[in-house]
Amino acid sequence: MIVDEVARRFGVTNWRQKDRARQALVRERNVLLVEPTSYMNLSGVPVRLISSWYRTPPERILVISDDMDLPLGRLRMRASGGHGGHNGLRSIIGTIGEHFARLRVGVGRPEGGDSIDYVLGAFPVAQRDTLARVVVAAADGAERWLAEGTERALPSVNAFRAD
Confidence of residue 128 (pLDDT cuts 50, 70, 90): confident
| Total structural domains within the chain | 1
Q: Average pLDDT of the chain?
A: 93
Which pLDDT belongs to residue 111?
A: 78
- Average pLDDT for residues 88-117, to the nearest whole number? 89
Backbone angles phi, psi at 73, to 5 degrees: 100, 5
Is residue 141 within 8 Å of 153, Cβ to Cβ?
Answer: yes
102: domain CATH number? 3.40.50.1470
Name the nearest CA neighbour of 35 among 50, 56, 52, 57: 50
Name the nearest CA neighbour of 137 among 106, 111, 116: 106
pTM: 0.92
- Average pLDDT for residues 24-31, to the nearest whole number? 94
- Average pLDDT for residues 30-53, to the nearest whole number? 94
Which pLDDT belongs to residue 122?
A: 80
What three-state secondary structure class fits 66?
A: strand
Which pLDDT belongs to residue 11?
A: 96
Which pLDDT belongs to residue 97?
A: 96
Q: Assess whether pLDDT exceeds 70 at residue 113.
A: no
Q: Assess whether pLDDT exceeds 80 at residue 112.
A: no
What burial letters (b/e) apply to 57-82, b meaning 16+ CB within 10 Å?
Answer: ebeebbbbbbbbebebbbbbbbeeee
Structural domain that includes position 54: 2-159
Which pLDDT belongs to residue 90?
A: 95
Confidence of residue 53 (pLDDT cuts 50, 70, 90): very high
Angle, helices 150-159 vs 128-148, to 10°: value is 160
Q: Assess whether pLDDT exceeds 80 at residue 123.
A: no
